[in-house]
Amino acid sequence: LALEVELRHALQHGEFVPYFQPIFRLDNGEVVGHEALLRWNHPRRGVLPPGDFVRVARDCGQLEAIDWQLYGKACERMAQPDAGDGFVTINVSPLHLRHAGFDRQLLQLLASSGLPPERLLIELTEDALLEDPVLVRATLERLRAAGVQAALDDFGTGYSSLGYLHSLPLSKLKIDQMFVRELDTAGGAGANTVVSAILTLAARALGIDVIAEGIETEAQRDALRAMGCEFGQGFLFGRPQPQPHGV
Ligand code: G
Ligand code: G
Ligand code: MN
Ligand code: NA
């Protein structure tokens, strides 16, 4: 209950901020975009990760407002000239896709932040896609028509139907860090086979950009690059930071 009151106060005081983690081309190291990750800049406890407050925020109905605060700040920051011209991704939970006005609200936010829609990418998990397939498709199609792209996040952890990839307007896929972690270990062969299969189907057959998440070692990066994976993200390249890469 105390946390619930604190969250409300934090919202009013704008304490929810984006941290930006760079996304790289694996072949030449170029930064192509950033993922905006939620942090609570707590006046006494310091910078708190989502794990410390998201569950309570969701249970007391404040997560959507927190997300909107984050989305607004992320887009405004990325619209500044020093942030470069790469894309920014935001994590969109099933909560948002339940609301018919989500796409309209997002486009309004883009207009007031000055970020071109073509530079925004929304990350969705599979459970968000299952929420209400008809509504989700309509929402994604309207966003796509306005220039906003969508990515399938945490790929490999849910039902992982590759069917989503050609039946919905998704332009990127993020391979979950679980697979990346297993690449250069004893159990590597299994993970390599799965990653290769994803790359063959998603990247080669469907033309979808694949981003590998959680790359921590050069061995993982090299293995992914050898398999033809084009993009990556992880502590090897950069941790989530309060400013875009290189600023
Ligand atoms: O940012 P990591 O650094 O700790 O994020 C942990 C979890 O929190 C991830 O599963 C991530 O998807 C989720 N998360 C990150 N940013 C956001 C956000 O803006 N909104 C919500 N609801 N969850 C987020
Ligand atoms: O669920 P989602 O994929 O949006 O969440 C991304 C999460 O992964 C964040 O908590 C982020 O801080 C974390 N993360 C990003 N790069 C790495 C990495 O290289 N290693 C680990 N262990 N976590 C990472
Ligand atoms: Mn994500
Ligand atoms: Na992810």
Residue 163 has pLDDT above 80, yes or no: no
> What pLDDT does residue 191 have?
77
The pTM for the full model equals 0.95
C-beta 213 within 6 A of ligand 2:
yes
Cβ 159 under 6 angstroms from ligand 2: no
Pair 183, 223: CB distance under 8 Å: yes
Query: 3-state DSSP call for residue 237?
Result: coil
91 band by pLDDT with thresholds 50, 70 and 90: very high
The mean of the pLDDT values for the chain is 93
CA–CA separation, 120 vs 115, rounded Å?
8
Tell me how far apart the alpha carbons of residues 247 and 241 are, in angstroms, rounded to a whole number: 10
Each residue's pLDDT tens digit, 181-214: 988 655 557 778 889 988 998 888 788 999 999 9
SS3 (DSSP) at 140:
helix
What's the confidence (pLDDT) of residue 162?
73
Mean pLDDT of 223-244: 96
State the architecture of 2-232 in CATH terms. Answer: Alpha-Beta Barrel (3.20)
Per-residue pLDDT reduced to its tens digit, 10-55: 999 999 999 999 999 999 999 999 999 999 999 999 999 999 999 9
Q: Can you give the length of the chain in residues? A: 247
Between CA 222 and CA 192 the distance in angstroms is: 12
Residue 134 Cα to ligand 2 midpoint, Å, equals: 30
Average pLDDT over residues 145-153: 97
Which atom of ligand 1 lies closest to the CA of 50?
8
Identity of the amino acid at 99: H
Identify the pLDDT of residue 190.
75
C-beta of 238 in contact with ligand 2 (< 6 A): no
- Tell me which residues have their CB closer than 6 angstroms to ligand 1: 37-38, 49-51, 54, 63, 67, 70, 91, 93, 240
Instruction: Give the nearest ligand 1 atom to 95 CA.
Output: 22
